[in-house]
Amino acid sequence: MSNPLIGVIYHWLGGLASASFYIPYRGVKKWSWETYWLVGGFFSWIIAPLTLASLLVPDLWKSIGATPGTTLFWAYFFGAMWGIGGLTFGLTMRYLGIALGMAVALGFCAAFGTLVPPIFSGQFEKILTTGSGQMILLGVLACLAGIGVSGMAGMSKERELSPEQKAATVKEFNFKKGMLVATFSGVLSSCFAYGLAAGKPLADLSKAALLRDGGSDLWQNLPVLVIVLWGGFTTNFLWCVILNIKNRSSHEYLNMRPSAVGEVSAAEGVMLSGAAEESAVQDANASSHGGPDGPSSHTGPAPLLRNYFFSALAGITWYLQFFFYSMGQTKMGTYEFSSWTLHMASIIIFSTLWGIVLHEWKGTSNRTHVLIGIGLAVLIGSTVIVGYGNYLGAASSGH
């Protein structure tokens, strides 16, 4: 049964998980980016999805085996494309900071990920001609407006802060370069929504198995996540291994003796790979916040148990965003495509709040603070509008 209010709450929880997952990486010591990113990725894209899907969905592998090969291929393919977008997404953090970087990249991601699937499926005309559909589109526009206001706050910040102040929070703040990378990343990152849409036949098979065994259809999308995240893992795994080889950092996994060849700095690896979310903030605040040590600190053995624990915690937290997303999507009713807007808006809301906590906006004017507040209010309002539109759609379907 659809319940948009519950669906919105699930999406908020997913947004909170997405905006928070990088925090545990601050506990990682003496590992290069590619090392802790790949370790966390095993938990994000392989271990957590398979474990939860196996526990909650009956006959997981039987459903996957009964799914048409083309369905599995496109779900995997779009996951791989999303993985490329995710790698470049880190560069937006490097050049724009957490709050502005996420706002711009996720803005493009929200627009493309929300609107393209219903256009492709032929559902868009129905959306335009119904009151509930129009309400949802209004919520999408409100979300984009909130992102635009957040962008204005970022531009205001750029004008107000001195180069020294910018470097203290985001070491390589570059608005023009960051906007270009954010656009590319946002468009490719929206492919995750396409992967979920492509995997709908697998979700239907899983739903049938769940209902047959008296389970909850809340879990019907978990098998689709398994396939999509395999695609994302592939691109991230290949790039991290390339960096392990290039940077001579593969010894870090087991504290083996490093190669006699001098290591390329982890900072260069970050630049090439797009880094992890918040890599620039980690570099700027490593000494004061206990973030991953820079290349100059790679002396002595790394605390392996600590590093694996925090990387696993970060990876599982990352996965929880889509665990809650998949639950929220089942509650949105006829217009479940709007889940993508709810997810993106929730991420931006919580990442902006984290940006405030991490003092990214410290030293800016009252005008900039007002813009931040307006952006947050509009984004929160957009989730309410989208939820109400889905409520109207569910009510009309009930009649």
Name the average pLDDT for the chain.
81
- First and final CA of the chain: distance in angstroms? 14
Structure-block tokens of residue 80 = 């791989």
Name which of 313, 322, 318 is nearest 225 in CA terms.
322
Domain encompassing residue 353: 4-398
Looking at the structure of the chain, the number of domains it has is 1
Structure-block tokens of residue 112 = 């493309």
Average pLDDT over residues 367-372: 87
- Asked if residue 66 has pLDDT above 90, the reply is yes
**195 or 285: which carries more pLDDT confidence?**
195
Q: Is residue 87 very low, low, confident or very high in pLDDT (cuts 50, 70, 90)?
A: confident
**266 or 63: which carries more pLDDT confidence?**
63
Average pLDDT over residues 57-69: 94
Q: Is 379 exposed, middle or buried (0-12, 13-18, 19+ CB in 10 A)?
A: buried
| Own/partner long-range contacts of 207-210 (Cβ < 8 Å, ≥24 apart) | 209/57, 209/58, 209/59, 209/62, 209/63, 210/57, 210/58
> Is 0.85 surpassed by the pTM of this model?
no
Cβ–Cβ under 8 Å, residues 150 and 103: yes
pLDDT tens, 313-365?
Answer: 999 999 999 999 989 888 887 777 788 888 888 888 888 888 788 777 777 78
* Residue position matching structure tokens 């129905």: 126
- Asked if residue 263 has pLDDT above 70, the reply is no
2 vs 245: CA distance, rounded Å: 49
At 130 the three-state DSSP class reads coil
pLDDT tens, 178-204?
Answer: 888 888 888 898 898 889 889 999 999
Average pLDDT over residues 223-231: 96
Q: What share of the chain has pLDDT > 90, as a percent?
A: 33
- Asked if residue 283 has pLDDT above 50, the reply is no
User: For the ranges 35-39, 257-261, 282-286, which has the lowest average pLDDT?
Assistant: 282-286
At 199 the three-state DSSP class reads coil
Residues 6+ positions from 276 with CB-CB distance below 8 Å? 22, 25, 33, 36, 37, 90, 93, 270, 282
DSSP state of 301: -
- Asked if residue 294 has pLDDT above 60, the reply is no
